[in-house]
Amino acid sequence: MSKLLIVGTVAFDAIETPFGKTDKILGGAGTYIGLSASNFGVKSGIVSVVGGDFPQEYLDMLNDRNIDTSGIEIVKDGKTFFWSGKYHNDMNSRDTLVTELNVLENFQPVVPEEFKDSKIVMLGNLHPAIQMSVIKQMTKKPALIVLDTMDFWMNIALDDLKAVMKEIDVITINDEEARQLSGEYSLVKAAEVIHEMGPKFVVIKKGEHGALLFSEGHMFYAPALPLASVFDPTGAGDTFAGGFTGYLAKTENLSFDNMKNAVIYGSNLASFCVERFGTERMIDLTQQEIKDRLELFKSLTQFDVDLD
Amino acid sequence: MSKLLIVGTVAFDAIETPFGKTDKILGGAGTYIGLSASNFGVKSGIVSVVGGDFPQEYLDMLNDRNIDTSGIEIVKDGKTFFWSGKYHNDMNSRDTLVTELNVLENFQPVVPEEFKDSKIVMLGNLHPAIQMSVIKQMTKKPALIVLDTMDFWMNIALDDLKAVMKEIDVITINDEEARQLSGEYSLVKAAEVIHEMGPKFVVIKKGEHGALLFSEGHMFYAPALPLASVFDPTGAGDTFAGGFTGYLAKTENLSFDNMKNAVIYGSNLASFCVERFGTERMIDLTQQEIKDRLELFKSLTQFDVDLD
User: Is the CB of B226 less than 8 angstroms away from the CB of A221?
Assistant: yes
Question: Which of A89, A219, A291 minimises the CB distance to B226?
Answer: A219
- How many C-beta atoms lie closer than 10 Å to residue B274's C-beta? 24
A37-53 per-residue burial string, b: 16 or more CB within 10 A, e: under 16: bbbbebbbbbbbbbbeb
Q: Which residue from B209, B219, B300 is facing A219, i.e. has the nearest CB?
A: B300
Range of the domain at B177: 4-301
Instruction: Give one DSSP letter per residue of chain A, joined into a string.
Output: ---EEEE---EEEEEEETTEE-SSEEE-HHHHHHHHHGGGT--EEEEEEEETTS-HHHHHHHHHTTEE-TTEEEETTS---EEEEEE-TTSS-EEEEEEE-GGGGG------GGGTT-SEEEE-SS-HHHHHHHHHH-SS--SEEEEE--HHHHHH-HHHHHHHHTT-SEEEEEHHHHHHHHS-SSHHHHHHHHHHTS-SEEEEE-GGG-EEEEETTEEEEEPPPP-S-----TTHHHHHHHHHHHHHHHH---SHHHHHHHHHHHHHHHHHHTTSSTTHHHHS--HHHHHHHHHHHHHHH-------
Chain A residues with CB-CB distance to B220 below 8 A: 299-301, 303
CB atoms < 10 A from the CB of A290, how many? Answer: 18
Amino acid at A31: T
Q: How far apart are CA B86 and CA B90, in angstroms?
A: 12
Of A236, A230, A226, A222, residue with least CA distance to A273: A236
Mutate to test the interface with B, among A209, A256, A289 (most CBs of B within 10 A): A209
Beta carbons of B226 and A223 less than 8 Å apart: no
Q: How far apart are alpha carbons B287 and B268 in whole angstroms?
A: 12
Nearest-by-Cβ selection for A294 from B89, B229, B307 = B307
Q: Which residues contact A161 (CB under 8 A, 6 or more apart)?
A: A128, A149, A153, A154
For residue B140, the 8-state DSSP code is S
Judged against a pLDDT cut of 60, whether residue A307 lies above it is answered with: no
Would you say the ipTM is above 0.85? yes
Considering CB atoms only, which of B189, B220, B291 is closest to A228?
B189
CA gyration radius for chain A?
18
Q: Does residue A306 fall inside a structural domain?
A: no
Nearest to B121 by CA among B251, B262, B246: B246
Q: How far is CA A111 from CA A8, A135, A156, in A?
A: 12, 9, 25
What is the pLDDT averaged over residues A83-99?
88
The rounded Cα B209 to chain-centroid distance in angstroms is: 17
Query: For residue B307, is it within any domain?
Result: no
The confidence score (pLDDT) of residue B308 equals 55
Residue A102 lies in a domain: yes
In a domain, A307, yes or no: no
- The stretch A116-122 carries a mean pLDDT of 98
Q: For residue B256, which residues of chain A lie inside 8 Å, CB to CB?
A: none
For residue B250, tell me if it sits in a domain: yes
Q: Are B177 and B151 in contact (CB under 8 A)?
A: yes
Chain B partners of A230 at a C-beta cutoff of 8 Å? 186
Nearest to A116 by CA among A142, A91, A93: A142
CA–CA separation, A12 and A26 (whole Å): 5
| Amino acid type, A56 | Q
- Mean pLDDT across A204-232: 93
A219 touches A260 (CB < 8 A): no
pLDDT at residue A247 tops 80: yes
CATH number at residue B110: 3.40.1190.20
| pLDDT tier at A88, thresholds 50, 70, 90 | confident
Any domain includes A308: no
- For residue B308, being part of any structural domain is answered with no
CB B138 within 8 A of CB B163: no
B281 CA: distance to closest CA in chain A (Å): 20
For A190, phi then psi, to 5°, come to: -60, -45
Count of domains observed in chain A: 1
> Contact at 8 Å (CB) between B145 and B123?
yes
For residues B8 and B13, give the distance between their C-alpha atoms in angstroms, rounded to a whole number.
Answer: 14
Q: Kindly report the CA angle at B61 between B55 and B66, in degrees rounded to 5?
A: 135
The residue of A305, A306, A307 whose CB has the most chain B CBs within 10 angstroms, and thus the best one to mutate to test that interface, is: A305
Q: What is the mean pLDDT of chain A?
A: 95
Give the pLDDT of chain B (308 residues) as one tens digit per residue: 889 999 999 999 999 998 889 999 999 999 999 999 999 999 999 999 999 999 999 999 999 999 999 999 999 999 999 999 999 877 778 899 999 999 999 999 999 999 999 999 999 999 999 999 999 999 999 999 999 999 999 999 999 999 999 999 999 999 999 999 999 999 999 999 999 999 999 999 999 899 999 999 999 999 999 998 888 999 999 999 999 999 999 999 999 999 999 999 999 999 999 999 999 999 999 999 999 999 999 999 999 886 55
Is residue A91 included in any domain, yes or no? yes
Q: Which residue of A has its CA nearest to B225?
A: A221
Contacts of B221 in chain A (CB under 8 A): 223, 226, 300-301
pLDDT over 90 (residue A258): yes
